[in-house]
Amino acid sequence: MPTPTEVQALRRSGMRFLHSHGYRRATDYLAEIPTDTETDYYAQGGVVDELEHEVASILGKSSAALMPSGVMAQQIALRIHADRRGRRSVCFHPMSHIDQKELRAYERLHALEGHPVGEPQRLLTLADLKAHRWTGEPVGEGPAALLLELPQRDIGGQLPTWEDLVGQVEWARSKGAAVHMDGARLWGCQSFYGRSLAEISGLFDTVYVSFHKQLGALAGAALAGAADVVAEAKEWRRRHGGRLYGLWPNAASGLAGLRKRLPQFAAYQQQALAIADALHDLPDLVVMPEPPHTPMMHLLLRRDADALRAAALKLAREDRVWTFSQFSGTDVPGVHRVELEVGDATLEWAPAEVRRVIESLLTE
């Protein structure tokens, strides 16, 4: 098998990509940044202000703050909600990013107590919240905040029904808790709900969105909410070391990605539905969820991981097609998972072509 360095070199060698926006070079990012971009000074002024105002407007919030990362944005939001309520507990789905991929920073840095609620392989429900036994707070009180990830990435980008989402928010409000959205991939949720991003975000006190995920920009995030909350978040951004000198390249890239790709999400969603329909009857394959709720889906492939990697490398070398570099294990022996997110590169594929490529992964 090739080394990771050899695999990366292969990816850069002129491929047709199946996933997202494909391989992007530095020049691709730079080409999207207007040459007349106005710079900022320690996250104030210029394109940073322009991006913050545009995000706040799209999400229907009073204000927004640019953050270097979503990890920082979410820790800050939860800390503010906890301090304002005099509580330390926060609850979330068991596969939430803050619990699975951030080394429990909410606990180590902010002394918050995490409560995973529900089961890992399905959506969090209102019934789960009502049944959970709360500890760490006075009797009768709930958490400081409920965190909901829209969509739930680790189970294929699934979304709760609007009615259940509203019910969960109302439950949190009844407990005096804030409601925060991990909206790293919120941009693709409009079609499922048939509602604007502002209407969806209107249920939440604070919303985090990403610019490099789905929008294909440089690293960066925004935290949106009420003006006083965002003002406090900017103080915490400085405490976290996120008030960097010159955030304009990331802000300009984020703004360009937002303006270029947000209008494309209806097309991304239609392509996701068409691809899922083309794949649904392939042997040894499950599409999750089917149909996709957003322009992403997980494919569960019944084949040995080494065989999948070999088939993927064969497609890359012989057909100049890049599919997936990682095949993650599941709880089912012999079944592996990949994530397919529809983006600019995926739009160039006919669904029947995608079927042939996935079939090759399963049989070559």
Q: Where are the alpha helices (DSSP H) in 22-140?
A: 26-31, 46-59, 70-85, 97-100, 105-110, 126-131
pLDDT of residue 99 exceeding 90, the answer is yes
Average pLDDT over residues 128-149: 82
Q: Please report the pLDDT score of residue 139 as a whole number.
A: 54
What gap in Å lies between CA 326 and CA 161, rounded to an integer? 31
Residue 311 burial class via C-beta count within 10 angstroms: exposed 0-12, middle 13-18, buried 19 and up: buried
Contacts of 8 (CB under 8 A, 6+ apart): none
What gap in Å lies between CA 46 and CA 56, rounded to an integer? 16
Q: Please report the pLDDT score of residue 133 as a whole number.
A: 79
pLDDT of residue 232 exceeding 90, the answer is yes
Structure confidence by residue, pLDDT tens digits, 23-39: 999 999 999 999 999 99
Q: Please report the pLDDT score of residue 36 as a whole number.
A: 95
Q: Please report the pLDDT score of residue 140 as a whole number.
A: 59
Average pLDDT over residues 158-178: 97
Q: Please report the pLDDT score of residue 3 as a whole number.
A: 76
Q: Please report the pLDDT score of residue 141 as a whole number.
A: 75
What number does CATH give the domain 4-25+264-363?
A: 3.90.1150.10
What ranges do the domains of the chain cover? 4-25+264-363, 34-259
pLDDT of residue 314 exceeding 70, the answer is yes
pLDDT of residue 104 exceeding 60, the answer is yes
pLDDT of residue 345 exceeding 80, the answer is yes
Return the structure tokens found at 247. 């955030």
Look up the pTM and report it.
Answer: 0.95
What gap in Å lies between CA 185 and CA 278, rounded to an integer? 24
The DSSP symbol for 218 reads S
Q: Please report the pLDDT score of residue 6 as a whole number.
A: 73
Short-list 33, 55, 44, CA closest to 250: 33
Q: Please report the pLDDT score of residue 183 as a whole number.
A: 98
Q: Please report the pLDDT score of residue 137 as a whole number.
A: 63
> What is the percent of the chain with per-residue pLDDT over 90, rounded to a whole number?
92
What gap in Å lies between CA 346 and CA 297, rounded to an integer? 13
Q: Please report the pLDDT score of residue 142 as a whole number.
A: 83
Residue 140 backbone phi and psi in degrees, to 5: 90, -10
Contacts of 235 (CB under 8 A, 6+ apart): none
CATH architecture, range 34-259: 3-Layer(aba) Sandwich (3.40)
What gap in Å lies between CA 364 and CA 312, rounded to an integer? 9
pLDDT category, 11, cuts 50, 70, 90? Answer: confident
Structure confidence by residue, pLDDT tens digits, 63-81: 999 999 999 999 999 999 9
Q: Please report the pLDDT score of residue 136 as a whole number.
A: 62
Q: Please report the pLDDT score of residue 112 as a whole number.
A: 96
pLDDT of residue 351 exceeding 70, the answer is yes
Return the structure tokens found at 213. 């995920």
